[in-house]
Amino acid sequence: MKVIVCNTYDELSMEAAKIMAATIKEKPDGVLGLATGSTPIGMYDNLIEMYKKGELDFGNIKTFNLDEYYPLSADNDQSYHYFMNKQLFSQINVKEENIHILDGLAENPEKECEDFEKLIDENGGIDIQVLGIGQNGHIGFNEPDEKLYANTHLTDLTENTIKANSRFFEKESDVPTKALTMGMGTILKSKKIIILANGKAKHKVVSELVQPMITTNNPATFLNAHADVTLICDKEAFEG
Ligand code: GLP
């Protein structure tokens, strides 16, 4: 795993945006795997800036998002659909039909997950996947457990995640207890992966991630089995 340690969040956001931009320029009809959470917001801001300056074109880019709460409608302001529209899609020229986010109200979640998985393959696979990391090491919503799932699936959120994500909701009881998420295999099939981590709260899981080992107690460590992963973090996440 390549590691880039930055002094500030702004620097981290620029490093991540540069890698994304290089991929988009190299393959203007490529497939981006995108993430939510607070960490990638700065990177999205930089990409929007580059687009506005005419440096980037998203006209033929396809996107697949990692996860979505379940059950939650796309127009709910806590949904990841809503987040992505607000933070990125509404400000660039990506085509509506090229945006793929799991349907948080899918009547048949199993079929929704299967179709999503197929669609990624039909589009030639993900060229670059952006990841954040949960305080417990989750990527997407692949939570620490005895078993991890390979494919896109419906999952229960852990107490830790519900608590950590409650900051975006009015009260903790409003946080959905389930989510649809790409599986570990879906993520690991991506050709290139960048994982972003910012702040002291991520230090424990980041220090495990940079060890040459894999454990289901910290799902992000599975990235150590991938040939092209870059961790971009700030000093606090790296050093504690
Ligand atoms: C959520 C998302 C993850 C994200 C995590 C970290 O749980 N499902 O994909 O990585 O939040 O969020 P933050 O970047 O706000 O710490």
> pLDDT means per 10 residues in the chain (240 residues)?
98 98 98 98 98 98 98 95 98 98 98 98 98 97 97 95 91 94 98 98 98 98 98 97
- Non-local (6+) Cβ contacts of 27 within 8 A are 127
Catalytic-residue membership of 115: no
Q: Which atom of ligand 1 is nearest to the CA of 38?
A: 15
pLDDT score recorded for residue 71: 95
pLDDT score recorded for residue 153: 98
pLDDT score recorded for residue 60: 98
Q: Supply 186's token pair.
A: 């879906």
pLDDT score recorded for residue 145: 96
pLDDT score recorded for residue 5: 98
Residue 87 and residue 93: Cα distance in Å, rounded?
13
Q: Supply 166's token pair.
A: 């409650």
Q: Whose CA is nearest to atom 10 of ligand 1?
A: 132
Active-site hit among 15, 46, 67, 165: 67
Active-site hit among 138, 142, 203, 218: 138
User: How many residues belong to the chain?
Assistant: 240
Active-site hit among 15, 112, 143, 234: 143
Q: Supply 159's token pair.
A: 């107490």
Pocket around ligand 1 at a 6 A CB cut-off: 35-39, 66-67, 132-134, 140-141, 161, 165
Bridge partner list, 231: 3, 195
pLDDT score recorded for residue 212: 95
Residue 32 and residue 130: Cα distance in Å, rounded?
8
